[in-house]
Amino acid sequence: GRLYVNTVFNISAEKMFELLFTESHFIRRFMNARKITNAILTRWQSDASGSMKRSLNYTITITNPLVGKFSTATENQILYKEFREGQYYLVDSEVYTHDVPYHDYFYTQNRYCIIRHSKRKCRLRVYTDVKYKKQPWGLVKSFITKNSWSGLEDYFRHLESELMEEEAELNQGCGDP
Ligand code: YK8
C-alpha cells in the first residue's frame, strides 16, 4: 500500500471527522470540484460488533484517457468502535468502481486515521491499497495497479490542498502562533 496523506492540520480531530465523514459543506464542495455526482449516502449506523457503518453510491468523472469518462462507484465505510470522540477515529473504506475495465478484479481500500494532536490540531493519515478479488495475469495486474495509483495520488493531493484551504478559512482571524 501507500501513504498518501500524513499531515498535521490546524483543525480539531472532531472537526476533521465532521468535514470528511458527514454531509458537510466541505465534502459537498470537494465532490463538486471532482465532478462526483448523483451521490447517495446512508447514515452512520451501528452494526452488531459496535462499529459504525455507512455506504455511499456516486458517479465519478474519470480523466484517465484509457477509461470511459464516467463510472458508478460504491464506497463502504466502517468507523471502528475503538474510536474516541475528539481523540481518535479510524475509518476503513472500500471503493468499488463498477464501470471501469477489469472492475471485477479489484477494489481500493482506503484507511483514514484522524488523531488528536492538541485541542485545535489533528493528524490525518490516509493509507491506500489496491486489493484483488481474483488474480489477473501479471501484465493486467500491473496495468490496474499503475492506473489506480495515479488516480489516487491525484485525488488525495487535491483533498489535502482543499483541506489546507479549509484550515486557513477556519483559522482566519484567530491566528495560531
Ligand atoms: C473515493 C481507483 C481506480 C480508479 C481508476 C480506474 C482505472 C482502471 C484501470 C484500467 C479510474 C473517490 C480510481 C482512481 C477512480 C477514483 C476512485 C476514488 C478517488 C485501465 C485497468 C473515488 C476514493 C477513490 C477510490 C478509488 C479510486 C479509483 O472517495 O483509476
ipTM of the complex: 0.96
* 107 touches ligand 1 (CB under 6 Å): no
Q: 151 C-alpha to center of ligand 1: Å?
A: 6
* 159 touches ligand 1 (CB under 6 Å): no
- Evaluate the CA torsion angle 136, 141, 144, 148 in order and state its sign: positive
The closest alpha carbon to 113, from 29, 12, 17, 9, belongs to 17
- The percentage of residues in the chain with a pLDDT greater than 70, rounded to a whole number, is 97
90 residue type, one letter:
L
- Whole-model pTM: value is 0.94
Question: Which residue has a Cα nearest atom 28 of ligand 1?
Answer: 148
pLDDT tens digit sequence for 60-111? 999 888 888 999 999 999 999 888 888 999 999 999 999 999 999 999 999 9
* Residue appearing with cell numbers 475503538: 82
Q: 48 C-alpha to center of ligand 1: Å?
A: 30
Does residue 97 contact residue 74 with C-beta atoms inside 8 Å?
A: no
CA gap 20, 22 in Å, rounded: 6
130 residue type, one letter:
V
- Where residue 176 falls among pLDDT bands split at 50, 70, 90? low
Q: 148 C-alpha to center of ligand 1: Å?
A: 5
Q: 95 C-alpha to center of ligand 1: Å?
A: 8
Please identify, by atom number, the ligand 1 atom nearest to the C-alpha of residue 143: 21
Q: Phi and psi at residue 86, in whole multiples of 5°?
A: 80, -5
Q: 147 C-alpha to center of ligand 1: Å?
A: 8
Q: What is the pLDDT of residue 82?
A: 86
pLDDT tens digit sequence for 6-27? 999 999 999 999 999 999 999 9
Other Cβ atoms less than 10 A from the Cβ of 164: the count is: 14
**Mean of pLDDT over the chain:** 94
Is 145 strand, coil or helix?
A: helix
What does the pLDDT average to over 132-155? 95
User: CA separation (Å) from 44 to 14, 21, 30, 50, 80?
Assistant: 16, 9, 20, 12, 12
Does residue 153 contact residue 113 with C-beta atoms inside 8 Å?
A: no
* 31 touches ligand 1 (CB under 6 Å): no
